[in-house]
């Protein structure tokens, strides 16, 4: 059986990158797969989170899932901390993964930066928990943005080593689903840096909750270069900001970069940015409004998470029992 699992951290403002790289694909995949979508609050606390904001951001990510179109009755939506089996399987995986594997993870290097000795241990072992999230449900497919590719390779390594060490064929080898024309949306201020929740400049990203005026202003101010737009994607080489904006346009218009370039061949950025702002507002405006409506009713959002927790726990507990048996953890 094919099963999708993916998660989003409640660690700040959800942005266009999270939407195009992940959440929009979550919605589309529910046509074909049984899907489990998780608000990964235990991942978020690998970096300091204000407790009240963490609670509020957990509801916001849930609202974004719902507003984007995930059906909470057909699929499972829950927050990670409410199913303790994630943390328990992560411990087993700490004993399977090798230090050398984790040391190669670029996200840890980027997030820990020069203050490596001060980074939390959680940030270092984050990929083990991510592997546990996915493998606890024996998920086969994981929709993510490009930045998560290395973590998914590690997840495959963990599954393979576990299966080999215990002589079983228990865990599937997951396939990443990196879909669309905007798998790595870049900052609007610097086309060489990823659009990110934690960027201190709000002008670097378009938040899912930005209103039409804010979206248009941010796109108008987005960094560009002095050349007009090229007629084909080859002309975007060495032009990271133009490449990023064309990629965003193509993804939102559900077309290819080739087609987007054809449409704006020779256009000035001012003309293109107007079209891009209009397209962005027409997509995100609806989602932002629905998120605000849902967040006005936290009781409903919490009931979705409670229902999801019960359904996720049932699968997780059954699988964890089997995993205990394989590892040799006695259930007297
Ligand atoms: N810029 C991006 N372009 C495409 N996809 C992206 N994703 C994140 N940023 C981009 C994808 O969104 C999903 C959820 O990400 P996450 O919240 O779990 O963690 P992240 O990748 O660490 O997100 P941020 O926004 O960059 O947060 P900070 O600033 O805290 O590091 C994932 O599938 C991710 O690939």
For residue 291, what is the DSSP state? Answer: H
What pLDDT is recorded for position 6? 98
In the residue annotation, 115 being an active-site residue is answered as: no
- Whole-number Å distance between alpha carbons of 66 and 291: 8
Q: Write down the residue that tokens 């080593």 correspond to.
A: 161
In the residue annotation, 161 being an active-site residue is answered as: no
Closest CA to 57 of 262, 291, 330: 291
| 245 to 179, 193, 197: CA distances (angstroms) | 17, 13, 18
Phi then psi for residue 199, to 5 deg, are -65, 125
153 within ligand 1 shell (Cβ under 6 A): no
What pLDDT is recorded for position 129? 98
8 within ligand 1 shell (Cβ under 6 A): yes
What pLDDT is recorded for position 164? 98
- Would you identify the CATH topology of the domain 202-293? Tyrosyl-Transfer RNA Synthetase (1.10.240)
What pLDDT is recorded for position 5? 98
What pLDDT is recorded for position 269? 96
Let me know: does 108 contact 102? Beta carbons within 8 Å. yes
What pLDDT is recorded for position 158? 98
- 3-177+298-327 sits in which CATH class? alpha beta
What pLDDT is recorded for position 1? 72
Q: What is the mean pLDDT of each run of 10 residues along the chain (332 residues)?
A: 94 94 96 97 97 98 98 98 98 98 95 91 98 98 95 98 98 95 95 93 96 96 96 96 97 96 96 97 94 97 98 98 98 90
What pLDDT is recorded for position 262? 97
What pLDDT is recorded for position 198? 86
Query: Which sequence spans correspond to the domains of the chain?
Result: 3-177+298-327, 202-293
What pLDDT is recorded for position 277? 97
194 within ligand 1 shell (Cβ under 6 A): yes
> Could you tell which of 147, 177, 200 is best to mutate to test the pocket of ligand 1, judged by most ligand atoms within 8 Å of the CB?
147
Name the H helices within the chain.
16-18, 24-29, 41-44, 51-68, 85-94, 99-103, 106-112, 121-135, 149-166, 212-221, 240-252, 257-263, 269-295, 298-327
């Amino acid at each position: 059986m094919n099963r999708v699992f993916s998660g989003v951290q409640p660690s700040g403002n959800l942005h266009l990158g999270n939407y195009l790289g992940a959440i929009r694909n979550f919605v589309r995949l529910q046509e074909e797969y049984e899907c489990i979508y998780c608000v990964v609050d235990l991942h978020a606390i690998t970096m300091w989170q204000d407790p009240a904001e963490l609670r509020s951001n957990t509801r916001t990510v849930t609202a974004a899932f719902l507003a984007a179109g995930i059906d909470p009755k057909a699929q499972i939506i829950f927050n990670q901390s409410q199913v303790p089996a994630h943390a328990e399987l992560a411990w087993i995986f700490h004993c399977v993964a090798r230090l050398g594997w984790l040391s190669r993870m670029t996200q840890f290097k980027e997030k820990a930066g020069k203050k490596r000795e001060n980074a939390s241990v959680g940030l270092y072992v984050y990929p083990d928990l991510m592997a546990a999230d996915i493998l606890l449900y024996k998920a086969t497919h994981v929709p993510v943005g490009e930045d998560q590719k290395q973590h998914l390779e590690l997840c495959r390594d963990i599954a393979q080593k576990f299966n080999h060490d215990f002589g079983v064929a228990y865990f599937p080898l997951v396939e990443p689903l990196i879909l669309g024309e905007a798998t790595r949306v870049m900052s609007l201020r610097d086309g060489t840096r990823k659009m990110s929740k934690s960027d201190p400049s709000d002008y670097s990203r378009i938040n899912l909750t930005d209103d039409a005026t804010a979206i248009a202003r941010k796109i108008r101010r987005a960094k560009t270069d002095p050349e007009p737009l090229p007629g084909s994607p080859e002309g975007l080489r060495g032009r990271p900001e133009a490449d990023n904006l064309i990629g965003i346009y193509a993804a939102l218009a559900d077309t290819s970069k080739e087609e987007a370039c054809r449409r704006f061949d020779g256009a000035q950025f001012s003309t293109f940015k107007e079209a891009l702002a209009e397209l962005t507002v027409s997509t995100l405006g609806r989602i932002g409004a629905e998120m605000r409506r849902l967040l006005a009713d936290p009781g409903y959002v919490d009931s979705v998470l409670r229902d999801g927790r019960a359904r996720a726990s049932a699968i997780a507990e059954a699988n964890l029992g089997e995993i205990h048996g394989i590892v040799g953890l006695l259930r007297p």
